Structure 1
Amino acid sequence: MTTTSTTSAPAADWVDPAALAIDPYPTYRRLLDECPVAWVPALNRYLVTSFAGCRAIEEDQETFSAAVSGGGATMARALGAQPMLRKDDPEHAHERRAINPTLRPKSLRERWAPVFERNARAQLEVLRQRGPGDADLNRDYAAPVASQNLVDLLGLRGTGVEDMRRWSHAFIAGTGNLLDDAEIWRRCDAARDEVDTLLDELVPHLREHPDGSITSALAGAGLPASQVAANVKLTIAGGMNEPQHMVTNVVWALSRHPDQRARALADPALWPTVFDETVRWLSPIGMYPRETTRDVVLQDVLLPAGAPVGVVVGAANRDDAAFEHADRFDITRPRLPHLGFGSGTHLCAGHWAARIAIGEIAVPLLYAELPSVRTDPRRAESWDGWVFRGLTALPVTWDA
């Protein structure tokens, strides 16, 4: 990260948060082309959009701390305390170690894959009953499947899929509430109170009666109740949002690339590749924060100590310096590491759960049962967000 020539970060005063929420990719392209490390006044932070810059940040947690402070700590405000994702080692490692056994591929395939398939098959019948003229893939399949999977993984017995979906949306909105919208905080606070009330009763029970769930693992690790609660709420946010959006993102992408859709239908072994390329091309996590602990030079740009930094992995995954024709969706491209699940110490703990539940079960099952499923251009789709981004409505149809 050393260099012989340094400059202050250029000011990208043209970046518009409203435009980012509508479609961030034109802004990402301009930042990548003109100033991959830039100060963005509208967001009061530096944005790093290059693949090399984002990867360098993740490889140096001593300089780029996850324990962000001040106005950048929206996640702590949303969840009530700093979860493991906003901590550095050794604190991060201690909390993460508790849940790692539950989320390893072997455990997921042996214990949880049958649960994931049961949930997907049940909700597929709901989608089918809606019919090809009325079905919405997010409402009728993606969100309920992701929600029920999360209820089961967390061991939140008695929680309905709509409660889980509402909580997740509230926590995601709060975490991404960089503009301090009061109504977003009101919904987030209400969701936090509901989850805390549930956990006040559940956590003491699980300390005495462990059940193999994520909440049980956290409760049995000797963590304070506040940290168990913060990490459960973190899992509610990311554990539903990303898998949900990956179902709709895959169908959206394949509907616009019928040749690649045909390839996947002809060779089911390609589904994990389809999943991985979709994560790269349409990253459900667009940006997450870091804070510098010292003056540092990143790609010839001097960042001062205490600088709020946005690691824009949604842009980095479209960086032509890392991926040939990066703006193209291409399941035949050479397999290269991307940043869709982060990297390094803070690689998403649930990435294998998402790969198995969605990439190996929910999406392949959808196409096996409804091979002609595709987006329905007669009805409007809806996207939302850039810190976290996904389809909130995706009408689909199929050949009856």
Structure 2
Amino acid sequence: MTTPTTEAPIADWVDPADLMRDPYPTYRRLVRDMPVAWVPALGRYLVTASEACRAIEEDQETFSAAVRGSGATMARAMGATPMLRKDDPDHARERTAINTTLRPKSLRAHWAPIFERNARTHLETLRSCGPDEADLNRDYAAPVASQNLIDLLGLRDVTVDDLRRWSHAFIAGTGNLLDDAEIWRRCDAAQDEVDALLAELIPFYRKAPDESITSALIASGLPVEQVTANVKLVISGGMNEPQHAVTNAVWALSRHPAQRRRVLADPSLWAKVFDEVVRWQSPIGMYPRETTRAVTLHGVALPAGAPLGVVVAAANRDPDAFARPDEFDIDRERRPHLAFGSGVHLCAGHWAARIAIGDVAVPLLYAELPDLRTDPRRPESWDGWVFRGLTELPVTWHA
């Protein structure tokens, strides 16, 4: 049955502060009552239904990744427009350059031992903090994600603190729609540091190519400004999601002890844990698109140039796509989710995250500390909705 075309409902009740605290009550109401809605507080249409989000990703000619606003600030933050804000064929040309590095075969053969080395190193840091002081995000998840990214990119003489600072600066710059001068100051400083590093690495990798993403971008023949912009893109987007997948997994299993016991008894279930964690508490909550023409989406008429927020975190709890969507259940029927997007813009690093976090970092935690759990004696802290995760997660275990 064809849904009649209507003007978009106005969700003037959506409060950005509520989204920051816990977006899921807002998402439930949007999915149920107005899955494509204009949100005045955000200055964009939010798309929350799974079917509508997938329709957007299947039609890049109508729903462009080359958005104004955040697209312009991203180009400013990174010195040029990276592949994330391009459509095919330009997007495909740059994406193809790194595909070989990020394929499962290459990741398992070359990178998995490196991921394990990094996880074991920072597991010792976690242990050294002890069961009364350890914070899973600070002591394990964040440094493991940072070091994995440093290695994948082939960055030399870079610390996890350097990478974290650069990532935060580039993300803040991309979101700097109000043109805050202090944000640009930090972002420009990060740009200068990364540009200086790449000025040394580009000639090095031209002479001595290896399996790193930076080496692959250089070998592809892309202009230097596109190499540097895409390295900065990976720095900005490749740390938070794996980091939050670690903490979200431990948080979820601590609250579902029966499922935790089953996984510890049967390690083959770790892949299901990873998939359910990123569906249930999606680290990437929303990303932008823009209409190139007037179009009807999910029965709602949208004008050309409409700014859209594709809310994949809401779509991943759409009851039309998932039974009992608000429950964490590793036994649910396997259905494709949108935690990594879909279509041509499916996250290039999704296999790296699955292997580094789902196969290595989280299983290793429980292999070494089988009674690891969140510590109710100390407060935890969540933050964000565009990117959402635990910024503080105290954990404990029997010493």
Match in the other structure for 2:149: 150
The range that moved more, 337-346 or 159-168, is: 159-168
Equivalent-residue separation in structure 1 for 2:179 and 2:339 (angstroms): 26
TM-score by length of 2: 0.97
For 1:163, the equivalent position in structure 2 comes to 162
Q: Which residue of 2 aligns with 1:335?
A: 334
CA contact (8 A) 1:137 1:393 kept: yes
Match of 2:305 in 1: 306
Q: Check 1:181–1:252 CA distance in 2 against 1; reply closer, same or farther (3 A cut).
A: farther
Q: Is the 8 A contact 2:3 2:298 kept in 1?
A: no
Does the 8 Å contact 2:379/2:393 carry over to 1?
yes
Deviation of 1:120 (Å): 0.5
Aligned partner of 1:14 in structure 2 is 13
Cα deviation for residue 179 of structure 1 reads 5.6
Partners of 2:3 and 2:309 in 1: CA distance:
25
Match of 1:263 in 2: 262
Question: Tell me, what secondary structure is at the counterpart of 2:238?
Answer: helix
Residues 72 and 308 in structure 1, CA contact (< 8 A), matched pair in contact too: no
Match of 1:246 in 2: 245
Deviation at 1:4, TM superposition (A): 5.8
Letter in 2 for 1:128: R
List aligned pairs for 1:182-193, cutoff 5 A.
182-193=181-192
Aligned equivalents of 1:322, 1:24: Cα separation in 2 = 19
Deviation digits for residues 230-283 of structure 1, max 9, x if unmatched?
A: 111111122111111100010011111111111111110000110000000011
In 2, the alpha carbon distance for the partners of 1:190 and 1:18 equals 30
**Aligned residue for 2:362?**
363
Deviations 1:190-215 (A, max 9, x none): 22222122112222322232122100
2:208 matched to which residue of 1?
209
Q: Which amino acid aligns with 1:345?
A: V
Task: Indicate conservation of the 8 Å contact 1:43/1:178, yes or no.
Answer: no
1:235 counterpart = 2:218:
no
Once residues 4 and 325 of structure 1 are traced to their aligned partners in structure 2, the CA distance between those partners, rounded to angstroms, is 25
Query: What secondary structure is seen at the aligned counterpart in 2 of 1:102?
Result: coil
Distance in 1 separating the partners of 2:331 and 2:212: 37
AA paired with 2:226?
A: Q
Whole-Å Cα distance in 1 between the matches of residues 178 and 388 of structure 2? 16
Shift of 1:172: 2.6
Partner of 2:171: 172
Mapped to 2, the partners of 1:78 and 1:260 lie a distance apart of 43
Distance 2:292 2:385 in 1: 26
The farther-off stretch of 26-35 and 334-343 is 26-35
Instruction: Determine helix, strand or coil for the equivalent of 2:110.
Output: helix
- The alpha-carbon distance between structure 1 residues 28 and 73, as it changes in their structure 2 partners (threshold 3 A), is farther
Match of 2:43 in 1: 44
TM-score, length-normalised on structure 1?
0.97
- In structure 2, how many angstroms separate the alpha carbons of the residues matched to 1:234 and 1:321? 33
Identity of aligned residues (%): 77
Q: Deviations over 1:96-124 (max 9, x none)?
A: 11100100000001101110101111111
Q: Displacement of 1:182 after TM fit?
A: 4.7
**Deviation larger for 6-15 or 71-80:** 71-80
Distance 1:186 1:12, change over 3 A: farther
Does structure 1 retain, via aligned residues, the 8 Å contact 2:70–2:174?
Answer: no
SS of residue in 2 equivalent to 1:365: helix
The one-letter amino acid paired with 1:273 is K
CA shift in 2, pair 1:379/1:184, >3 Å = farther
1:105 corresponds to = 104
Deviation larger for 184-193 or 373-382: 184-193
Cα distance in 1, alignment partners of residues 3 and 312 from structure 2: 27
Alignment of 1:341-360 (within 5 A): 341-360=340-359
In structure 2, the CA distance between the partners of 1:133 and 1:152, relative to structure 1 (3 Å rule), is same
Cα distance, 1:321 vs structure 2: 0.7
The residue identity in structure 2 corresponding to 1:170 is A
CA distance in 1, matches of 2:35, 2:77: 29
Match of residue 195 from structure 1: 194
Q: Aligned AA for 2:47?
A: V
CA–CA distance in structure 2, aligned partners of residues 202 and 373 of structure 1: 40
What amino acid is the match of 2:376? P
User: What residue number does 1:89 align with?
Assistant: 88
| Partner residue in 1 for 2:385 | 386
CA contact under 8 A between 1:176 and 1:388: conserved in structure 2? no
Whole-angstrom distance in 2 between the partners of 1:61 and 1:151: 31
The superposition leaves residues 148-195 of structure 1 with CA deviations (integer Å, 9 ceiling, x where unpaired) of 111111000110111111112222333344565554443333222221
| 1:42, distance to aligned residue in structure 2 (A) | 1.2
Distance 1:54 1:158 in 2: 41
Unaligned ranges ≥5, structure 1: none
Q: 2:97, 2:70 → 1: CA distance?
A: 29
- Aligned to 2:155, the other structure's residue is in SS state coil
Distance 1:39 1:370, change over 3 A: same
Quickly say closer, same or farther: Cα 1:179–1:32, change in 2 above 3 A. farther
User: 2:128 matched to which residue of 1?
Assistant: 129
Q: CA deviation at 1:396?
A: 0.4
Give the match's secondary structure for 1:159.
coil
Mean Cα deviation higher: 322-331 or 80-89? 80-89
> AA paired with 2:264?
L
Cα distance in 1 for partners of 2:188, 2:335 equals: 40
How far the C-alpha of 1:71 sits from its partner, in A, is 5.2
CA distance in 2, matches of 1:180, 1:31: 30
Aligned residue for 1:302, secondary structure, equals: strand
Distance in 2 of aligned mates of 1:148 and 1:62: 37
Calculate the aligned-residue CA RMSD, in Å. Answer: 1.5
Range that drifts further, 389-398 or 68-77: 68-77
Counterpart AA for 1:338: H
